[in-house]
Structure 1
């Protein structure tokens, strides 16, 4: 997705993030200035709403049902499947049942999307600049802007991929960022000091406030979070197009190859004190130039080349404003007087490396939010 298209969704991001900050502010008011929230769930819901509105405009009437089906599909794809070990065995496929359930979820998700597309097409000439509206306009024009025959099936697939790529990476990374910040008070206080000093006097943050690299340390926090917690630990599978040899191993043509981006980000050969959360490492001469575009193979949170994650630009846009707003308006700590080092950082197995336990934090209002 182009930077121009991502920028066109700016008002959606600002609206949904303001709704989140307003909700936490109201809860703090009811709690005498502080409240305990399951911040991971709130982040996920906010990011999902941003992606839904950006993709299909407004809030999809069957939003919760659609997101539940997609979430189930992602979990099935990343879970253990006996037929992966014995792909030629009909018995293994029958015993696991995962393939049947995945197909059922895909059919249901496509049925919901088909209904929504049908409603949009029958909408008496409605023209919106969300992703679905743009794709339908291109399809209606007969593909004059696109060499590809843009069928409804392709449109459905593109929109579904945006849901997964744009929401899963953002919400997972933001939840890990809040986890690492609470677990490392020095970094948390430094990030909050930067945000509050740079944006002093504002009652609500908008994307324009963050322009010009004003929050350089916050950007380092996001980069360090992506190093330790790559959203897709094995990226997307690649396939060998011709036989090759890697480190003495012969790789036949057609071999499916998985790249362990999670391990690369924690490799002591490339990173000093690799397991520590130190955003400052990206200010050092050897790592300052590293970005998310895949030019440095020891740092591949979104992959590299033509097959890198298509939702990078949208995901990063969601992350910065949301994280800045949470740090600007509230102080954060573990509830019940828990020590930062006691926060459980266990990871859940799947396509995306998410937290195994829920992230529940105590929010204390610091700067009053006014919408």
Structure 2
């Protein structure tokens, strides 16, 4: 009898304690969906986390606290909440969480994208902005862009002469990778089978879920399922490749007149002109950042833009009219021509709104405790900003927020360069992507040339898979199926 009373008393104490803690937590932390033991809310992510988290935020609010295993994760799903995180409390949320996958594949945070907030990150970002991504450097590679665009247009023209469908996804991916290869590494590597396979493996592994990152005591599962081995092999293969690239530059074993990014970094290392030393690992990490971040997101944006234009012929016709009017009598579009193409810019903004290349962006992490909108957010909380959900906010974009309508941007000052939190596909604040301008010169001139030199339509036999907007899985969201279209040359 006494044992039964003790059990009931202990159970009551535990129940009251849990009730008290739960009430206290609800009053101090953002709303949370119910969790499962051990895994927390991991089961609610689904195949497309940006969509699943948007659905949950519609119920629990624009600031929502989840738990991925033992890791607290703050999900931000509105423009106002994003401004609080990326502007009001920018420094607090300026760091990056540690991840087994990022540690292995991104040189243990010695790159720019995944480096924790601190002096090293500030120095490396400064190097990238001033010496690699400046307006001067962007202009210096104009002939590379023009050459590669011309080659792609000629390939498309050959296909159009036989009325065969063009695999636009393949052409745009090859173009983006060839340009970035030449700019960052000094020559084309993408067509080499081993390099293409290497980068495809790398991209795939970046999007893999690591159990040990979120549930440390279950880290053995990553080892049993082979993830640890795959990451180690990928790390070794990747480092071997970039070591070979850097050594070729050191030895002068290249057919290249122009300085590429590796040359610039080696010069900075040799001259010690920036006030601190850059070691070999940092050089490889930065070049990897430029290649992976630049090529994948550029190709993704162009692919989605052409998809939406083909799905909305009235928008395609209006864009063609603008481009062909400005470039009347010209065979191709130059980088000067695009300055006055307002509808082209509106089309790209609308594509970024509906199809941000990184829907959840790169995660942030709080450096110290902070009070955010009367909620308590402890240090070490990961932050996921759902750019995909923010781009679909009805309060910002209206009842037609799900529709592709570039006209909404023509009389709007909203831009995607980090000053307007309604549209932040590349982030904002300290951790904004520093390569926006570098990438967008290529995006704009490629798209303008595609609609100037060709008329486009879906093949008659196209299925819903080909004409729809089904998404792939992973960090960067491509089309699930390649984009095929019929191109009719206008020249």
Residues 270-297 of structure 1: per-residue CA shift (max 9 Å, x gap):
111111001111123xxx2222221122
Q: Report whether the alignment pairs 1:97 with 2:221.
A: no
Give the equivalent residue in structure 1 for 2:452: 328
Q: CA deviation at 1:62?
A: 7.8
| Whole-angstrom CA distance in 1 between matches of 2:372 and 2:201 | 36
C-alpha distance in 1 between matches for 2:152 and 2:367: 46
**Ranges in structure 1 where 5+ consecutive residues have no aligned partner:** none
1:1-371 correspondence runs (5 A): 1-29=133-161, 31=162, 34-60=163-189, 63-123=192-252, 128-141=258-271, 143-144=272-273, 146-210=274-338, 213-247=339-373, 249-272=375-398, 273-284=400-411, 288-336=412-460, 338=462, 343-366=467-490, 368=491
CA deviations on 1:166-214 (whole Å, 9 max, x unpaired) are 111110000000000000111010001111111011123322332xx22
Give distance in 1, aligned partners of 2:251 and 2:374.
Answer: 59
CA pair 271-237 structure 1, distance change in 2 beyond 3 A:
same
Q: 2:253, 2:164 → 1: CA distance?
A: 46
Cα drift, residue 140 of structure 1:
1.5
Q: Alpha-carbon deviations, 1:55-95, whole Å to 9, x = none?
A: 12222488543343233222222233333442332322223
In structure 1, the partner of 2:82 is none
What SS does the corresponding residue of 1:364 show, helix, strand or coil?
strand
Q: Partners of 2:152 and 2:277 in 1: how far apart?
A: 40
Shift of 1:357: 1.1
Output the CA distance in 2 between the equivalents of 1:320 and 1:108.
34
Greater relative contact order (Cα 8 A, min sep 6): structure 1 or 2? 1
Q: 1:153 to 1:335 in 2, by over 3 A?
A: same
Report SS of the residue matched to 1:352: coil
Moved more, 329-338 or 13-22: 329-338
Deviations 1:310-331 (A, max 9, x none): 3212211110011011101111
Decide whether aligned partners of structure 1 residues 67 and 160 sit closer, same or farther in structure 2, where only a CA change above 3 A counts: farther
Quick check: which has more Rg, 1 or 2? 2
Instruction: Give the drift of 1:222.
Output: 0.6
CA distance in 2, matches of 1:72, 1:13: 26
Q: Distance in 1 between matches of 2:309 and 2:346?
A: 12
Q: Secondary structure at the match of 2:147?
A: helix
Q: Which deviations, in whole Å up to 9, do the C-alpha atoms of 1:308-358 show, x marking residues without a partner?
A: 123212211110011011101111111125599981211112111111111
Tell me: CA distance 1:337–1:201, structure 2 relative to 1, closer, same or farther (3 Å): farther
CA distance in 1, matches of 2:259, 2:248: 16
Change (3 A) 1:137 1:64: farther
- Gaps of at least 5 residues in structure 2 are 1-132
Backbone CA RMSD of aligned residues: 2.1
The offset of 1:152, in angstroms, is 1.1
Of stretches 290-299 and 215-224 in structure 1, the one that deviates more from structure 2 is: 290-299
Name the count of aligned residue pairs. 357
Q: Secondary structure at the match of 1:358?
A: coil
C-alpha distance in 1 between matches for 2:166 and 2:447: 15
SS of corresponding position for 1:262: helix
In 2, distance between residues paired with 1:153 and 1:341? 43
* 8 Å Cα contact 1:334-1:340 kept in structure 2: no
TM (norm. structure 2) is 0.69
TM-score, structure 1 as length reference: 0.90
Shift of 1:54: 0.5
